Amino acid sequence: MSDKAISDLKPMTEGIAPITVEERRSRIEKARRLMAQHAIDAVYIEAGTSLFYFTGIDWWRSERMMAAILPANGEIVYICPAFEEARLRELITLAGEVRVWEEHESPYALAAGAFRDRGVAGGRIGIEENVRWFLFDGLRKEAPHLEFVSADPVTIPCRAHKSPAEIALMQRAMDITVEAYKACLALLREGLSQNEFRANAVAAHRALGVQGGIDVQFGASSAFPHGSKTVEFLKAGDVVLMDGGCRVEGYCSDISRAVVFGQPTQRQRDIWNLEKKAQAAAFAAAQLGAPCEAVDAAARKVITDAGFGPGYQVPGLPHRTGHGIGLDGHEWYHMVQGNKTPLAPGMCFTDEPMIAIYGEFGIRLEDCIYMTEEGPRFFTQPSPSIEQPFA
């Protein structure tokens, strides 16, 4: 089959609305309210998705400190290598003070001075959860008089509850990945390798105007949630398990589909239908105020009532039913036993129970949910049937 399914694709990026400076300012104000509630005097954030969330600065990670200090009072302080200052200033949209360090100087001393100058003489510094150990270790050695605590009570409540603008970006990412899936499914053929499928997925997303991909497993390898080391080539009767996504303005999509190449057996059809029932049960349980664990419990009950499991045992559902999603592919909050966090508007997460049967195949259907004031909504419509992966 030709690659016309990909060459016919057109970019779907027109009209995308990036997060505004005003929204980022409102995020910082919310963070400061939470800092006051939790007696945190400043939050230290290094390059990564939280830096992008609060400041809009997309910066790579290296051994050199590039960070933002968000004080409870006063303007942001950016800590940057001196030779990168000009580039940083190009990226700054939220005004702040830039402090630079030369290659032979200590960025930790620079950060400690910024804490002091923002009125944190002996207070509490919140460390964002993705700060690497060597940076934290350097800070605490340079400023032993300060108390370093987790910034989770500040950063997680901010990031876990998405605004309408964030949800719109995620919706666009989901829509794009659906189209990439359709193109890749049209190119399934006998003898297709996993690597060829993955290359098609990258090309399809690129043609649609973004960077993204879809991982794939064929046949018995589909029972492994994240794949097997075995290289497979597609043959008639194989389950094709796909899991992929892209980013739009940093925000992720995440969709899984399971189909059969050729005619499904009754066994494959029965397990697929059971999986669909479990996914629907998870969605029905995702009601405002319900604990996150209720979503997992509902899906798991469908699967265990059918004789699989119990718990995480295989054959059955070997992992949690879902994870949060946003600027990171996996973020807060997880749909897992023990998570009592109540579902609230703005929370976004995957609905992806799986039935894994080692030695045979695995079926996973994954669509993302966002919570509204009226309850749960799917970003993408679940598969209608094993023969029809998209509505």
Residue 35: pLDDT over 50: yes
Residues 238-260 have a mean pLDDT of 98
Radius of gyration of the chain (CA): 23
Predicted confidence (pLDDT) at residue 24 exceeds the cutoff of 90: yes
- The burial of 53, by beta-carbon neighbours within 10 Å (0-12 exposed, 13-18 middle, 19 or more buried), is given as buried
Tell me whether strands 96-101 and 76-81 are parallel, antiparallel or unpaired. Answer: parallel
The Cα–Cα gap between 173 and 246 comes to 6
Over 60: is that where the pLDDT of 307 sits?
Answer: yes
Using N-to-C axis directions, what is the helix angle for 194-207 and 164-186, rounded to 10°? 130
Per-residue pLDDT reduced to its tens digit, 87-134: 999 999 999 999 999 999 999 999 999 999 988 777 899 999 999 999
Q: Give mean pLDDT, residues 72-99.
A: 96
Identify the structural domains of the chain with CATH numbers, from first to last.
21-160 (3.40.350.10), 164-378 (3.90.230.10)
At a CB cut-off of 8 Å and minimum separation 6, what does 186 contact? 1, 5
Mean pLDDT of 363-378: 98
pLDDT at residue 2 greater than cutoff 80? no
pLDDT digits (tens, 9 = 90+) for 47-58: 999 999 999 999
Give Cβ neighbours of residue 39 (< 8 Å, ≥ 6 apart): 124
pLDDT attached to residue 230: 86
pLDDT of residue 1: 42
Report pLDDT digits (tens) over 285-294: 999 999 999 9
pLDDT grade for 250, boundaries at 50, 70 and 90: very high
- Please tell me the least confidently modeled range out of 81-90, 183-192, 226-235, 303-312: 226-235
Nearest alpha-carbon partner for 56 in 28, 84, 15, 82: 28
**Model confidence over 149-195: pLDDT tens digits?**
999 999 999 999 999 999 999 999 999 999 999 999 999 999 999 99
> What is the pLDDT averaged over residues 240-250?
98
- Hey, how many other C-beta atoms are within 10 angstroms of the C-beta on 337? 16
Residue with tokens 């669909």: 276
Mean pLDDT, the chain, integer: 97
Residue for token digits 């939220």? Answer: 94
Sequence-ordered list of residues with C-beta below 8 angstroms from that of 99, at least 6 positions apart, any chain: 77, 78, 79, 80, 110, 113, 114
Burial class (CB in 10 A: 0-12, 13-18, 19+), 231: exposed
Return d(Cα 214, Cα 216) in angstroms, integer.
Answer: 6
CA distance 332 to 339: 11
pLDDT class for 209, splitting at 50, 70, 90?
A: very high
